[in-house]
């Protein structure tokens, strides 16, 4: 059963309109990946729609600022298309979270969306499509926390949760040693305690 998000604009689609969820996020999802089956789904499958009808076009855009961590830009007929995600873009965000956009249409991921490229919230990443393991045009949208664990993306689409809610903080300390081996000893102890430190000459 599909259901609507109930929004006039979904943040991962450039054009206004609601989105219909065709497969929910989570474990033991009914009728996923195909009708009559049950499977675990690491993201949410959505289709952009207007007036309850599926839209023919949908530009997929970044949910927040970040840097391209990975992408795939297959052109039709170029390579075997059996990989689950098909054409996709992964964005690493400043808070350590990652957003993933899968099954993008052939030839629609812009050249500038290359590994390491900075992207702005709302920037176009390609068009909703059906590349990879897909049974029709849709966007598989996935969010992973900073440990790489998929989390429910729906609250981020509805605005209930925001990427701004998550921040990382770094504590900068300086310890001065006159002797390098003493410094290295201290470094080894800190590493052993799971504290990430760097040694530099001052
Ligand atoms: Zn999916």
Distance CA 139, CA 122 (A): 15
**Which residues of the chain have a pLDDT value below 70?**
1, 77-82, 165-170
pTM for the whole thing?
0.80
Assign 164 to helix, strand or coil. Answer: helix
Quick check: 121 and 63 in contact, CB under 8 A? yes
- Report the separation in Å between the CA atom of 94 and the middle of ligand 1, taken as the mean of its atom positions: 24
CA 52 to ligand 1 centroid distance, Å = 20
Q: What is the pLDDT of residues 4-31, one digit of tens each?
A: 999 999 999 999 999 999 999 999 998 8
Tell me where in the chain the CATH 2.70.70.10 domain(s) lie. Answer: 3-165
Tell how far the Cα of 190 is from the centroid of ligand 1, in angstroms.
41
Closest CA to 153 of 43, 67, 47, 79: 43
How many angstroms does the Cα of residue 44 sit away from the middle of ligand 1? 6
CA of 167 to the centre of ligand 1 (A): 27
Distance 46 CA to ligand 1 centre (A): 8
Query: How many angstroms is it from 139 CA to the middle of ligand 1?
Result: 7
Q: State residue 79's pLDDT score.
A: 61
Distance from the alpha carbon of residue 138 to the mean position of ligand 1, in angstroms: 8
What is the topology classification, in CATH, of domain 3-165? Answer: Glucose Permease (Domain IIA) (2.70.70)
C-alpha 134 to ligand 1 mean position (Å): 8
Tell me how far the alpha carbon of residue 124 lies from the centroid of ligand 1, in angstroms: 20
Residue 81 pLDDT: 63
CA 39 to ligand 1 center in whole angstroms = 11
Q: Which residues contact 120 (CB under 8 A, 6 or more apart)?
A: 62, 65
pLDDT at 80: 60
- Check residue 70 and give its pLDDT: 95
């Amino acid at each position: 059963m599909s259901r609507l998000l109930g929004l006039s604009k979904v943040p991962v689609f450039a054009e206004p309109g609601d989105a219909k969820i065709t497969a929910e996020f989570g474990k033991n999802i009914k009728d996923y990946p195909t009708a009559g089956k049950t499977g675990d789904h690491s993201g949410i499958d959505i289709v952009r729609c207007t007036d309850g009808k599926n839209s023919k076009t949908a530009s997929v855009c970044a949910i927040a600022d970040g840097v391209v961590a990975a992408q795939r830009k297959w052109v039709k007929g170029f390579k075997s298309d059996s990989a689950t995600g098909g054409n996709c873009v992964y964005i690493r965000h400043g808070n350590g979270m990652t957003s993933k956009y899968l099954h993008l249409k052939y030839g629609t991921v812009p050249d500038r969306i290359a590994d390491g490229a900075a992207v702005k919230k709302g920037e176009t990443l390609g068009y909703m499509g059906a590349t990879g393991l897909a049974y029709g045009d849709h966007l598989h949208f996935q969010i992973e926390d900073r440990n790489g664990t998929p989390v429910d993306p729906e609250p981020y689409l509805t605005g209930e949760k925001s990427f701004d809610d998550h921040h990382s903080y770094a504590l900068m300390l300086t310890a001065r040693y006159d002797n390098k081996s003493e410094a290295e000893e201290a470094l080894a102890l800190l590493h052993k305690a799971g504290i990430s430190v760097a040694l530099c000459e001052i």
